[in-house]
Amino acid sequence: MNSGAQTVFIVDDDASILKAISRLLGADGIPVATFDSARSFLAAYHGAARGCVLLDVTMPGLNGIELQDALNARNCALPVIFLTGNGDIPTTVQAMKHGAIDFLTKPVDGVTLLATVRQAFAQEAAGRAQNAELALLKARLESLTPREREVLGHVIAGRLNKQIADTLGTTEKTVKVHRARVMEKMQAASIAELVRLAGRAGVVPAA
Amino acid sequence: MNSSWITISWSAVAACCLTVGLTYALIWFRRPGWIAHLAFAIAAVSAAAVATGELALMHAQTPQEFGTVMRWIHVPIFTLVVASVAFVRLYLGGGSLWLAGGACALRLAALVLNFHLEPNLNFSEITALEQVPLFGGETVAIAVGTVRPATRIGELSSLLFLLFVAHATFQFWRRADREEKRDGLLVGASFALFVIIAAGHAALLHAGLVRTPYMISAPFVLVVLAMACKLSSDMARSMRMSEQLKAREAELQLNRQRIESAAAAAQSAIWEWDIASNQVWITEQGRELFGFPHDEVITLPRFQATLHPDDRARIREAVAQSLIDGQTFEREFRIVPAPGRMRWVATRGMVDIDGDGKPLRMRGLSIDVTERKRNQESIGMLAAIVKSSTEAIIGQDLNGIVSSWNAGAETIFGFAADEMIGHPVSRLIPPDLQPEEKELLRRVLRGERVEHYETTRSRKDGTLFAVSVSLSPILSSGGRIIAASEIVRDISERKLADAALRESESRFRAMADSAPVMIWMTGRDKLFTFFNQAWLDFTGRQIEREIGDGWFEGIHRDDLTACLETFGRAFDGRCQFTMEYRLRRADGAYRWVLDTGAPRLSPDGTFLGYIGSCLDITGRRRSAELLQQERAYLRQVIDVDPNLIFAKDRSGRFTLANQAVADVYGTTVDNIVGKTDAELNPNAAEVERFRHVDLQVMDTLKEQFIAEETITTAAGKVLWLQTVKRPIVDEQGVAIQVLGSATDITQRKRAEFELAAQRNELAHLARVAMLGELSGSLAHELNQPLMAILANAQAAQRFLARQDVNLDEVREILQDIVNDDKRAGEVISGLRLLLRKGEMMRQPLDVNLVVSDVLRLMRSDLLNSNVIANIELMAGLPPGQADRVQLQQVLINLVANACEAMSAVDHPARQMIVRTSLTIDGEICVSVSDMGPGISAQDLNRLFDPFFTTKQHGLGLGLAVCRTIIDGQGGRLWATNNTTCGASFHFTLPVAAMEAA
């Protein structure tokens, strides 16, 4: 499985559909990979894959919805687009709840399909950028000492140095040093930015 | 001009030649065939030219002038010689060609040399001109110089010319007749003289022996004069000939007229057939006879066309024979001058032949001999009649001398013709009757006829016999009595027969009177002449009251009309009759009598009247009446029976039919008896079927039961019958008839049809409901190919929008679109079939294929239900007999039920088995097994009841309809629980009957 360019992974048990959609997307220069069953896709799937998944609902063995669940279980970041010959409401609701980007009914117009694929690509790219920033913040957060971490929690809670020193049972001066260290390690220029970054990294303000 | 006699003379010569020459040229111009005239014309004109040249020579001033003129004078000399040779040759028709050719060739050589030499052929040089004085004081120029030896060539030519003329004249002289001889001699002599003088003089001149100018043209005048002389004599002769010709023609015309009038007077046609032109000239009389229009040109084929077809070949042959041997043609034949008319023609023709014996023409005469022919024919016929007559026909003259004696007379009298002709007829008459005979003859001579006079004659052997004599006078064409004919018929046998008859009649009466039956007789006039004693005893009346038509009084009033009618009709037709009527007996009671009559004929076949006998049949008649009543009663019984009752004989004719049959065929019972089904039933197939079974019953002597058959009524309605047919056997055990009884089961059949229709309707409704339930997965089946088509099409649009179109790729896409479209079409047609509302149509089909089709159609349903279908189809399964749609319906139902049964089961265990097999009874069996919870014992009984369902939303009709369907196909549907888990549904289908190959 290519992990370079964004690719549409098409899973459908109907060979002629696989061929036709591959052609349609390929004509617009979109890379495509086809799989004739859910199992063969799962076997080939790895976390580095980029792009989106185009899933048929009705398939022998594992059906589309079950495949979506399996991918979710693996923390798959690929957006899922469903393509079905017969979209009943319960199935649609379930699929959307489980994070599908769209639920298209066959026969779907090429323009719609391409637009949906492009939307999925954009979403996947955005998600990926967000994840990278978060990882950076987490790394910075990791570099803090436990004491600095404690101080950070109180700082973003909006406490003054004196209050923090009281709470921690230390001097105001020590707190000031810790605070400066935190600001440096987190690469925050101001308290406001520190608060935002901490929020992004999931740091909960101290009680 | 004081000195011009030379000029005048030579000019005259030239003019003379020119005049005659041009005259001949003119003649030639009119008759281009006469080339001799042309030749002479050229010669004469050449001579005129020579004369002109000679004049110029005489008046030449210088030697050069003389030489030049002399040189040019050779040209007309050449033409003169050649034309003269040609003329002599043509005119005299002879002469050596060697001499002629030689003369011409030498002359040509002279001419050629002449133009190569200076100054000319004759002189090598001309030194001076000497003026020679002539009388009258005139001078002419003569050349002085050296004569060339080549001059001899011209002279030699002239010599050869002379010899040629002499030779030709000689030959002509010997050949020609007297008158021609003169002309030939004139021509020959004039030419010869001309050559001798002209050439001789020139030769002397060249030798220097005479001193004169050239004189060639002057002697030609001799020739010209001879030719002019000949011309005038020719003219005189031709005038004479034309006069003769005219006279001849006038004579011919006169002759023809004479012949025509002679022919007309002789009622004959004169004709002449010109063989070369194949045309026929015929006189007016002839045209009338043969039916040719007045102005028609008659050709031989036209002439032949008038011949009677039967005579054509014969006459053509005879004519051809005459043409070959030159013999006179003489035939009588028939012609058809106009459609429907026929004439006899006697024709005599003679052939004219030319010198080589070739036939030129045929001339002859035809006379209408129709009258004669007819007379001959009728005379021949009369003679034949007289000859073949069995009666004696005797001709006698006024004195009673026999003049003719036919074969009949020979037989009757025993005298041969030569024994009697010339002898007195009184030899045949017994002496005592001689006066009577004389009296008869006298009456005839007075012009009377004596008819059927019965008297006695004597034969040659002296025996006397009874005769009937008829005598009549024979008149001449002038109406005078010239003889008598006597027809004698031997009536001795008739006389004997009459006597015998009289005797037998009295014998008959005696017998009839003693007979125990009543006997009557009539005369030829329908009137009754005789009743025997038995009759008179019966009626108790006198014979006088009975004869004539008196006995009619005894006939019962009610029977009289029928009686008279029967009797009258039989009598007029001279045929036998039988009738029954009531006749009053002496005691006043009416008794039934059976009266049988037949015509009475004499031995020679003459009708004498009727004879008949009567029997009292009153007793018999009673029992017949009872029988009749019984019959009528039975008749009523079978007519009341609503079943069709009938009997037919071997030929298929109805011998019995009741009212029910008559009603079906829309006619009466009486009209059916004696007819066949084919005459009553318009449906040939039915008639054929009836006949087939009828014959089978009669041939096998076995009763047959036909559970269902149709009959088409007169109104065109089709009735359903259940029929029993049984053979009727005669004493010998042979089936002679078939007796049938048929029940009208149309009502029952209609109810059956209605039931089937309702069943079909129900099946259709169930199908529609079922498909409604399946619609989700069916839509998926349809949308799959549509998706592929749309995507492919749009991909293709994108490819085509590019700069570098890859056509191979587009082609591949189009092929995929086609395939997917077909796939979608198959799905739709499958659905449409299922949704269609139609009558059941059982046909042979591959059950395995139907199973595969159904599972393919239900693929998405199976997928949605997560059911895996295992298909176990038996290879080599024979075709089943079923309705495809209904079979599919049952299968879909069972498969859908199986899926639903397993919906509660854990996913990987959802397996279904669809199996086809052959039962031990040879039926096709289809089973659908699931792995669901199975069927409880109490449900198993009610499973196929309508409105029984275990489903929440089910109608409870599916399985009930399935069972109805399978029953309708002649199979069974049942359910079993599997040994391990789940349930199975099975159904059977009959195997399609193999077509007898």
pLDDT in tens, B632-648: 877 887 888 888 889 99
Question: Chain B: residue nearest A108 by CA?
Answer: B787
For B202-247, what is each residue's pLDDT tens digit?
888 888 888 888 888 888 888 888 888 888 888 888 888 889 889 8
The position carrying tokens 């001798």 is: B196
For B225-234, what is each residue's pLDDT tens digit?
888 888 888 8
With beta carbons less than 8 A apart as the criterion, state whether B956 and B942 touch. no
Q: Tokens for B667?
A: 């006619």
The strand pairing partners of B394, in sequence order, are B405, B486
Closest to A81 in 3D by CA, of A108, A106, A56, A60: A56
Q: Tokens for B824?
A: 């979608």
Question: Chain B: residue nearest A16 by CA?
Answer: B788
Nearest residue, CB atoms, B780 vs list A60, A85, A109? A85
What's the pLDDT at A87? Answer: 67
Residue B478 has pLDDT above 80, yes or no: no
Q: Tokens for B151?
A: 């001059």
What's the pLDDT at B49? Answer: 92
Question: CA-CA-CA-CA torsion for B184, B186, B187, B193, nearest 10 degrees?
Answer: 140
Residue B986 has pLDDT above 90, yes or no: yes
Residue B592 has pLDDT above 80, yes or no: yes
With beta carbons less than 8 A apart as the criterion, state whether A110 and B791 touch. yes
How much is the average pLDDT of B372-388? 74
Closest to A32 in 3D by CA, of A14, A55, A7, A64: A7
Residue B968 has pLDDT above 70, yes or no: yes
The verdict on A62 touching B (C-beta cutoff 8 Å) is no
**For B421, what's the count of Cα atoms within 13 Å in the CB-facing half-sphere?**
10
What's the pLDDT at B503? Answer: 72
The verdict on A76 touching B (C-beta cutoff 8 Å) is no
- Helices A161-168 + A146-156 axis angle, to 10: 130
The pLDDT confidence band at residue B792, using thresholds 50, 70 and 90, is very high
Q: How many residues belong to chain A?
A: 207
Phi, psi angles (nearest 5°) of residue B922: 80, 20
Residue B1 has pLDDT above 50, yes or no: no
Question: CA-CA-CA-CA torsion for B3, B4, B9, B12, nearest 10 degrees?
Answer: -160
What's the pLDDT at B143? Answer: 83
CA distance B252 to B249: 5
What's the pLDDT at B953? Answer: 59
CA distance B575 to B584: 26
Considering only CB atoms, which chain A residues are within 8 Å of B799? 27
With beta carbons less than 8 A apart as the criterion, state whether A85 and B787 touch. yes
* Out of A15-19, B602-606, B668-672, B850-854, least confident range: B602-606
How much is the average pLDDT of B595-620? 83
Question: B972: helix, coil or strand?
Answer: coil
Nearest residue, CB atoms, A60 vs list B788, B792, B863? B863
Sign of the dihedral through C-alpha B198, B201, B206, B210: negative
Average predicted confidence (pLDDT) for chain B: 84
Report which DSSP code applies to B107: H
Closest to A96 in 3D by CA, of A79, A111, A112: A79
* Cβ contact, residue pair A59, B781, below 8 Å: no
Considering only CB atoms, which chain A residues are within 8 Å of B790? 20, 107-110
* Cβ contact, residue pair A106, B787, below 8 Å: yes
Q: How far apart are the first and last CA of chain B?
A: 136
Sign of the dihedral through C-alpha B246, B248, B253, B257: positive
The verdict on A24 touching B (C-beta cutoff 8 Å) is yes
Pairing of strands B279-282, B329-335: unpaired
The pLDDT confidence band at residue B865, using thresholds 50, 70 and 90, is confident
With beta carbons less than 8 A apart as the criterion, state whether B817 and B793 touch. yes
CA distance A100 to chain B (A): 20
Question: B354: helix, coil or strand?
Answer: coil
The pLDDT confidence band at residue B459, using thresholds 50, 70 and 90, is confident
How much is the average pLDDT of B856-876? 84
Residue B996 has pLDDT above 50, yes or no: no
Considering only CB atoms, which chain B residues are within 8 Å of A86? 776-777, 779-780, 783, 860
Considering only CB atoms, which chain A residues are within 8 Å of B857? none
Q: How many CB atoms lie within 10 A of CB B159?
A: 18
Closest to B861 in 3D by CA, of B886, B891, B829: B891
How much is the average pLDDT of B377-403? 78
* Out of B1-5, B38-42, B559-563, least confident range: B1-5
Secondary structure of B817-870 in HEC code, one letter for each residue? HHHHHHHHHHHHHHHHHHHCCCCCCCEEECHHHHHHHHHHHCHHHHHHCCCEEE
CA distance B875 to chain A (A): 27
Considering only CB atoms, which chain B residues are within 8 Å of A19? 788, 792, 816
- Specify the DSSP element, H or E, that contains B484: strand B481-490
What's the pLDDT at A54? Answer: 92
Question: Chain A: residue nearest B814 by CA?
Answer: A20
- Specify the DSSP element, H or E, that contains B989: strand B983-989
Question: Chain A: residue nearest B867 by CA?
Answer: A60
How much is the average pLDDT of B28-45? 88
What's the pLDDT at A18? Answer: 92
- Specify the DSSP element, H or E, that contains B353: strand B343-353
How much is the average pLDDT of B133-140? 79
Residue B997 has pLDDT above 50, yes or no: no
| CA-to-CA dists, residue B648 to B651, B724, B737, B909, angstroms | 8, 13, 5, 72
CA distance A169 to A164: 8
Question: Chain B: residue nearest A88 by CA?
Answer: B776
* Cβ contact, residue pair A110, B799, below 8 Å: no
CA distance A2 to A50: 8
Could you tell me where the DSSP H helices lie in B339-432? 370-388, 407-413, 417-420
Residue B772 has pLDDT above 60, yes or no: yes
Residues near B701 by beta carbon (within 8 Å), at least 6 away in sequence = B727, B729, B735
How much is the average pLDDT of B959-976? 87
Residue A73 has pLDDT above 90, yes or no: no
Residues near B468 by beta carbon (within 8 Å), at least 6 away in sequence = B452, B453, B454, B488, B489, B491
Percent of chain B residues topping a pLDDT of 70? 97
CA distance B556 to B469: 53
Q: How many residues belong to chain B?
A: 997
What's the pLDDT at B957? Answer: 66
For B280-313, what is each residue's pLDDT tens digit?
888 887 888 888 888 888 888 888 888 888 888 8
| CA-to-CA dists, residue B316 to B312, B323, B364, angstroms | 6, 11, 15
Taking only residues 2 to 21 of chain A, the set having a beta carbon closer than 8 angstroms to any beta carbon of chain B reads: 14, 16-17, 19-21
CA distance B6 to B506: 151
The amino acid that residue B575 corresponds to is: C
Report which DSSP code applies to B271: E
Considering only CB atoms, which chain B residues are within 8 Å of A58? 777, 780, 860, 863-864
ipTM exceeding the 0.85 mark = no
How much is the average pLDDT of A146-169? 87
Considering only CB atoms, which chain A residues are within 8 Å of B782? 85
The verdict on A84 touching B (C-beta cutoff 8 Å) is yes
Question: CA-CA-CA-CA torsion for B193, B199, B203, B204, nearest 10 degrees?
Answer: 40
Could you tell me where the DSSP H helices lie in A11-100? 15-27, 38-44, 64-73, 89-97
Question: B275: helix, coil or strand?
Answer: coil
The amino acid that residue B129 corresponds to is: L
The verdict on A105 touching B (C-beta cutoff 8 Å) is yes
Mark out chain B residues that contact chain A at CB-CB < 8 A.
776-777, 779-792, 794-795, 798-799, 813, 816, 819-820, 823, 860, 863-864, 866, 868
* Cβ contact, residue pair A58, B819, below 8 Å: no
What's the pLDDT at B793? Answer: 92
* Cβ contact, residue pair B787, A109, below 8 Å: no
Percent of chain B residues topping a pLDDT of 90? 11
* Cβ contact, residue pair A17, B792, below 8 Å: no
Secondary structure of B576-607 in HEC code, one letter for each residue? CEEEEEEEECCCCCEEEEEEEEEEEECCCCCE
Phi, psi angles (nearest 5°) of residue B904: -85, -10
Residues near B201 by beta carbon (within 8 Å), at least 6 away in sequence = B210, B212, B214, B215, B216, B219
The amino acid that residue A127 corresponds to is: G
CA distance B186 to B230: 8
Question: B941: helix, coil or strand?
Answer: helix
* Cβ contact, residue pair A107, B789, below 8 Å: yes
* Out of A46-50, B591-595, B749-753, B775-779, least confident range: B775-779
CA distance A98 to chain B (A): 20
